[in-house]
Copies of this chain bind each other. A is one copy, B any other.
Amino acid sequence: MKQVFKYIEEHAEMYLDWLLEACNQPSVSAQNRGMLEMKELVKLFLGKIGSKVEEIQTDGYPIIYGELGNGKEKCLTFYNHYDVQPEDPIEQWASDPFKAELRDGKIFARGVADNKGNLIARICAVHAYQQIYGELPIRVKFIFEGEEEVGSPHLEFFASKYPEKLQTDGIIWEGGQREVEDKRLHVGLGVKGICYVELICKGAKTDLHSSEAAIIENPAWRLIWALNTLKNEKEEILIEAFYDDILPLTDKDRKFIQSMAYNEAEVKNTYGINSFLKNVTGDALKERLTAEPTCTICGIESGYTGEGSKTVLPSVAKVKLDFRLVPNQKPEKIAQLLREHLDRHGFNDIEVIPSHGMHPFNTNPNDPFVDIVLQSVEEVYQEEPIILRNLAGSSPMYKMLKNTDIPAVQIGVANTQSRFHAPNENIFVDDYIQGIKVTAAVLHHFR
């Protein structure tokens, strides 16, 4: 492997250029921006390593499927996505989100952490390996979807329609990050689920002069009152039966959670906060982060929100809510419980529009593939990784893998300060290069 690592280091600049090129192409699935161009770019990159490339058509953006290598015994799959989150609020970016910029040893761009850095790093790893060894020792598959940021609506279709393409011995999944301070890499074995909905409350058919508020219902107020019934100031989610399906943590779960590194001071400093929610700290904080479901207002809007004042009675009020779910909670059931809750509290006029849902998913930590990954990480980082289950970020693992026992492991090139989905998203150049090496090491050891 030394030679492969050396090749990667010597060609770091080229591999960095590949990443910048990928980042400079906008690909916002939620807004249908640049998706076609990005898809073509991904195919071009797969072409560089001689992969067979297939475009799997869906009702949305296609899945780019690649296959490479003749190894008979083992098959390794890379799951990544070529779409990114919208960049707003644009004014908080120090540089153009779609013109990747190098500053302080970091690359700043929308999607560089989530997850173009990983997508390109997987390709670079195969490339470097080929330069030294020629033929790959195993078969490699690429499943690159374009709808992860909008809930992967066609991944189930892919899994059920193409079982032979899905078949593999292990998946390196997107995600994963490095602790900035103690340098250790997270190895993720599973994620929380998500139930994302929009609530819409309507009043008069147009906005009115606010003097009419004396006699005409304000949908913004109704939405406030409805939201207030969902969660209280103690952060308790008040939807009836919301917590019922949650499995109690086992001792093993607690051990996992407690072994996780979490630099509270660093996070507080990065985020500019004085304390964590409800002042939790230590193991309680880690448990909250990894084992507690949430109910989050991701966005709310009603009436006039521009500069200055406008005396308006809004005609509509909307809120986007996301619930992060822990094992055994089901997004469809949560949406149903929410509907019933609103009805029970007199808010049957408030529309609930389910946007997307994902089940939680956890890989069996005893699968031999997990050990291969851990060994590869140690080889590159010279440091034991942090194994995490129930990662806080959500991922469509369940959609793809629910009827299989394929192990999926998340490792990646981002870090705990990468500002996923936020302005000034970034990764370290060094982490990117290390990520290429780790991937190459997995390729090498998994045969």
A324 touches B210 (CB 8 A): yes
The answer to whether residues A220 and B92 also contact, given A196-B309, A203-B273 and a CB cut-off of 8 A, is no
A102 at the interface (CB under 8 A from B): no
A67 at the interface (CB under 8 A from B): no
A299 touches B314 (CB 8 A): yes
Q: Which of B192, B298, B305 contacts A312 (CB 8 A)?
A: B298
B306 touches A86 (CB 8 A): yes
Complex Cα distance, B224 from A204, in Å, reads 22
List B contacts of A138 (CB < 8 A). Answer: none
Q: Which stretch in A34-42, A43-51, A166-174, A287-295 binds the other chain?
A: A287-295
List B contacts of A198 (CB < 8 A). Answer: 309
Complex Cα distance, B233 from A319, in Å, reads 19
Contact indicator per residue, chain A 189-200, by CB within 8 Å of chain B (1) or not (0): 000101010100
A310 touches B214 (CB 8 A): no
B313 touches A298 (CB 8 A): yes
Chain B residue nearest to A345 (CB atoms) is: B233
Query: How many residues of A are counted as interface, with CB atoms below 8 angstroms from the partner's CB atoms?
Result: 89
Q: Which of B149, B212, B227, B308 contacts A150 (CB 8 A)?
A: B308
List B contacts of A196 (CB < 8 A). Answer: 309, 311
B88 touches A306 (CB 8 A): yes
Q: Which stretch in A123-131, A154-162, A420-428, A438-446 binds the other chain?
A: A420-428
B30 touches A89 (CB 8 A): no
A433 at the interface (CB under 8 A from B): no
A421 touches B312 (CB 8 A): yes
A317 at the interface (CB under 8 A from B): yes
The answer to whether residues A205 and B271 also contact, given A289-B215, A307-B31, A309-B196 and a CB cut-off of 8 A, is yes
Which label, helix, strand, loop or mixed, suits the secondary structure of the A interface?
Answer: mixed
List B contacts of A355 (CB < 8 A). Answer: 308-309
The answer to whether residues A277 and B421 also contact, given A212-B392, A310-B298, A311-B322 and a CB cut-off of 8 A, is no
Contact indicator per residue, chain A 77-100, by CB within 8 Å of chain B (1) or not (0): 000000001101100100000000
A256 at the interface (CB under 8 A from B): no
List B contacts of A300 (CB < 8 A). Answer: 220, 224, 300-303, 305, 317
Chain B residue nearest to A264 (CB atoms) is: B215
A297 touches B224 (CB 8 A): yes
Chain B residue nearest to A284 (CB atoms) is: B215
Q: Which of B86, B309, B393 contacts A304 (CB 8 A)?
A: B86
Chain B residue nearest to A271 (CB atoms) is: B204
* Subset of 24 A-B contacts with CB under 8 Å: A30-B306, A30-B307, A30-B309, A31-B307, A88-B304, A88-B306, A150-B309, A194-B311, A206-B271, A206-B423, A209-B393, A211-B391, A215-B288, A217-B277, A218-B296, A224-B227, A298-B303, A298-B311, A299-B302, A299-B310, A299-B312, A301-B301, A309-B322, A309-B355
Give me the interface of A with B, judged by CB distance under 8 Å.
Answer: 29-31, 85-86, 88-89, 92, 149-151, 192, 194, 196, 198, 203-218, 220-221, 224-225, 227-228, 231-233, 271-273, 276-277, 280, 285, 288-290, 292, 294, 296-314, 317-318, 320, 322, 324, 346, 355-356, 391-394, 419-424
Q: A150-B308, A298-B309 are in contact. List 13 more A-B contacts (CB 8 A).
A: A88-B310, A151-B309, A203-B273, A206-B272, A206-B419, A207-B422, A208-B271, A208-B421, A209-B392, A215-B285, A224-B224, A296-B313, A297-B302
